[in-house]
Structure formats: structure tokens, C-alpha cells
Amino acid sequence: MANLKEIRGRISSISSTMQITRAMKMVSAAKLKKAQDAIVMLRPYSEKLQEIIQNVNSSSDPDQVSIYAQKREVKKVLFIAVTSNRGLAGAFNSNVVKELNIQFQNKAQYEIEVLTVGKKAYDAVRKGRKVFSNESSVFDKLSFDVVSNVTETVMSNFREGKFDEVYVIYNKFINAATQEVMTEKVLPISMSETTAAETPVETDYIFEPDRAEILDNLIPKSIKTQVFKAVLDSVASEHGARMTAMHKATDNAQELKNDLVIFYNKARQAAITNEILEIVSGAEALKNS
């Protein structure tokens, strides 16, 4: 049986760990609210932007296809893997890496590169995978402009034909306890192939400037918004996953501490009983002598 000093040390160590996990849970819970509000507000904007593009495109000349919608023979594929810079978030980061490996297997016939957003993704792919760029610094001062600059680089490479398809892999925020790994195609964008005759526009729009120029302005903004939405989803999912993980860690530590306290009390009681027996035995020996 372990000595009492060793058990007390383990109880003290677990108590210190519980303070850390409890504090991390509270910090993530505080950050989650802000991150959740950001993604909830962005989603309607992103969806409406897609709706406008589809509406304008449905009544435009089918021969005028945006360069970002042009489909070509796939030879090179870029994956944007969005994780976090820190761990202690359960399976949050490993799920993205796992999905990335699955995509590598599914598209093994193509030349694949990875743009990592988050140190955990970079650490997972830097050995054995071709890394296009590591953009983990976007989390230092996260904003639409910062993510937009990264997306502009990707769009530029797509225009130049260096990549034929671009996908983003990230954790979609469902709620604090649930995150869903998503793989979405960023480029080429999916445009409605229905014509105006097949899908008549109920409202008679007057376009100023013309439809082509509107699409040229809206499509890049939509692509940048899609990537930014993926990053915001990932940030909210990270805080939710860490809050859940730290909550479970705190509960597990509490159970372990309770077991050790019981074990300590039993050991202490056994030690006291042995001391009493020794005293009684010594007194009886002196009495008999």
C-alpha cells in the first residue's frame, strides 16, 4: 500500500490540474459566445450572397462564364486545412487531419498540396505532404481582410492554372458539444446551369452595371466569404470542443480525486489501527513481564 505522503502528493497534483482545466473551460466558454455570434451573423450574409449570384447568373449570357467557374481537367488539387494553433480540444484537430488523409486517398491520382491554417494541421502534414503555405498567423489578429489576403493568393494560383480544384476542410459549428467535419469545394465555384427560360426571374431587375460586371465583383467576394466562414466556424468549434473537453477532464479528475481520498482515508485508518495494536501489544508485554 502506498504511503500517506505519496497519496497526499497525488491528491494535491490532481487538485492543481482541476484548477487549470476548470479555468480553461471558463475561458473557452467566454470566448465561445463571441465566436458563436460572429458565425451566426455571417451565415445569412454568405447564403444571401450565393442566392444573388445564382439569380444574376440565371439571367446572364450562358457563354459568359466566370474564370472562377471554369471547369478543366483536374491535375492539381489544393486543400485548405483549418485547425487551431493549440491543442487540448479533444478530437477537434485530429478529425480534420483524419478527413484530410481520407481525401488524399480518394484523390491519390492527382498532385495534391495543402495550405494549412493552424499549427496543428501544419505539424501533421509537414512531413510526407507537400505544403503550399502555412498561414497559422491568421489567428494572431483574425479579420476578414487577413483571411481575404490568403484567399486572394489561392484565387490567383487558380487563375494561373496552378490548381484545378480547391477544397476547404474544417469543423462546422453545430453547438458547443457538436462539431461536424466538412469538406467543401471552393474552386471552381458551382454555378446554376439553368437558363432564364427554365427558371424565370419573378422580379424584373434593372442591372447597373451590367450582369457580367456584377458577377465579376460578387464571385470573388463570395469565395473569400466562404473561406472566412470556414475559419469562423472552426474558431467557434475550437472553443466549443475545448470547453467540452475541459469539462470532461475536470469531471474525470474529480472522480480520481474522490477515489484517492477514499484510498487515503483507508490507508490512514489502517496506519492508526496498526499503531494502536502496537501500543496495546507493548502495554500487554510490559504488564506480563
Q: Is residue 45 part of a domain?
A: yes
Q: Is residue 286 part of a domain?
A: no
Compute the average pLDDT of residues 205-233: 82
CA distance 111 to 79: 11
CB 115 within 8 A of CB 136: no
Q: What are phi and psi of 280, to 5 degrees?
A: -65, -45
Provide the domain count of the chain: 1
Percent of the chain topping pLDDT 70: 89
Q: Is residue 274 part of a domain?
A: no
Query: Tell me, what's the pLDDT at 60?
Result: 54
Q: Is residue 102 part of a domain?
A: yes
Query: Tell me, what's the pLDDT at 232?
Result: 92
CA distance 160 to 68: 11
Q: Is residue 155 part of a domain?
A: yes
CATH number reported for the structural domain that contains residue 31 in this entry: 3.40.1380.10
Q: Is residue 78 part of a domain?
A: yes
The residue behind cell 497526499 is 8
pLDDT at 289 over 70: no
b/e burial code for range 233-256 (CB count within 10 A of at least 16 → b): bbbbbbbbbbbbbbbebbeebeee
Residue-range definition of the domain harbouring residue 131: 24-192+204-244
Q: Is residue 167 part of a domain?
A: yes
Compute the average pLDDT of residues 64-89: 86
Confidence category of residue 288, pLDDT binned at 50, 70, 90: confident
Compute the average pLDDT of residues 6-22: 88
Q: Is residue 86 part of a domain?
A: yes
CA end-to-end distance (rounded Å), the chain: 34
Q: Which pTM was predicted? A: 0.81
Closest CA to 228 of 145, 135, 130, 110: 145
Q: Distance between alpha carbon 170 and the CA centroid of its chain, in Å?
A: 6
SS3 track for 184-207: EEEECCCCCCCCCCCCCCCCCCCC
b/e burial code for range 117-132 (CB count within 10 A of at least 16 → b): bbbbbbbbbeeebeeb
